[in-house]
Amino acid sequence: LLSAVPQIGEIAQITAEQLVNIGSQDIDEEIWIKLSCRVNELLNCDDIDGIVITHGTDTMEESAFFLQLTTNSTKAVVLTGAMRPSTSLSADGPLNLYNAVAVAACDDASDRGVMVTMNNSIFSATDVTKMHTTDIDAFQAPENGKIGSITGSKVTFNTPPYHHTLTFPIKDGIKLPKVGIVYSYGGIDPDMVTFMIENKYRGIVHAGVGNGNIHKNIFPILEEGAREGILIVRSSRVAAGPVTLENEVDDNKYHFVASQGLNPQKSRILLMLSLTKTHNWEEVQRYFNMFVL
């Protein structure tokens, strides 16, 4: 990849290593932990100013958010990828890689947590999501927008630095609790949820309709799950907007957690990490409240 973009040598000194070689559709918790441990090691090296991670686009937002929650450094960590294959006309990978290095090497990038750069835009790992299956402009931050852009090799940020304070320390070999996502739809079958309860999931993220609303076919099952100590997070299948506390659902009564600004896949990551610290729904809600839109 680096030899395809010799211009990178003009803006940074690079050392490269390969942690895994997979399609990102096959990512899992073990790889996230391995990646996070290595990134933390590198962030502690005095001779490293920033880190670029090349990643498949399918789950890039999940890996970026996992790193956001498990690293704590003022140095830039930047993920990037490509929407077009390297063999296609106007492949976007080389420029995306160049841009990611330009961001990681830029003084202004310090204290902005984990970022994703795609198609000349810079996003916070917290806000970014893949919004299109094929476009080179696939990555967007539907609520907060991009935090900066790259033109030529000039990196410009349009937000002030922000130090992300919520960090879950991760050790090699740690096992994360079983957390699943149930996607709601008209007439959803209760089996979709009873399966998770019977199979001892410790947390369930409900990708609900609208502002995290729950179909009557599964509401009582989730309610019973919460009573038994399973953490239930109400997120939404809607692409933008928050899931707010106490809207149509009485979260306080049912001990449900509202996902605030996090989509279902990011809610799952925060819930897994939260469960390494607490099983108290109010404490978990406090973690999610850090992502109010």
Stretch that binds ligand GLU, among 22-30, 38-46, 63-71, 237-245 (CB under 6 A): 22-30
Q: Is 56 in the site for ligand GLU (CB under 6 A)?
A: yes
DSSP letter string, 222-252: HHHHHHTT-EEEEEESSSSS-B-TTSSS-HH
Q: Is 94 in the site for ligand GLU (CB under 6 A)?
A: no
Name the one residue in this structure whose structure tokens are 């490293």.
48
Q: How far is the CB of 4 from ligand GLU (least distance, A)?
A: 16
Stretch that binds ligand GLU, among 21-29, 171-179, 242-250, 251-259 (CB under 6 A): 21-29
Q: How many residues does the chain have?
A: 293
Q: How far is the CB of 188 from ligand GLU (least distance, A)?
A: 28
Pick one of 5, 12, 24, 29: the residue that binds ligand GLU (CB under 6 A).
24
Distance CA 135, CA 92 (A): 11
**C-alpha torsion angle, residues 160, 35, 48, 54 (rounded to 10):** -70
Distance CA 112, CA 68 (A): 10
Q: How far is the CB of 59 from ligand GLU (least distance, A)?
A: 6
Pick one of 3, 17, 21, 23: the residue that binds ligand GLU (CB under 6 A).
23
Q: How far is the CB of 207 from ligand GLU (least distance, A)?
A: 20
Residue numbers 163-202 binding ligand GLU by CB under 6 A: none
Pick one of 25, 87, 90, 165: the residue that binds ligand GLU (CB under 6 A).
25
Stretch that binds ligand GLU, among 18-26, 72-80, 160-168, 270-278 (CB under 6 A): 18-26
Distance CA 285, CA 280 (A): 9
Three-state secondary structure of 116-132: EEECCEEEECCCCEECC
Q: How far is the CB of 97 from ligand GLU (least distance, A)?
A: 13
Q: Is 97 in the site for ligand GLU (CB under 6 A)?
A: no
Pick one of 50, 81, 203, 242: the residue that binds ligand GLU (CB under 6 A).
81
For ligand GLU, give the closer residue by CB, 24 or 194: 24
Q: Is 225 in the site for ligand GLU (CB under 6 A)?
A: no
Q: How far is CA 191 from the centre of its chain?
A: 28
DSSP letter string, 153-213: TEEEESS------------TT--PPPEEEEE--TT--THHHHHHHHTT-SEEEEEEBTTTB
Stretch that binds ligand GLU, among 50-58, 186-194, 254-262, 265-273 (CB under 6 A): 50-58
Distance CA 45, CA 263 (A): 33
Smallest CA-to-CA distance from 232 within 214, 247, 217 is with 214
Contact residues: ligand GLU, CB under 6 A: 23-25, 56-58, 81-83
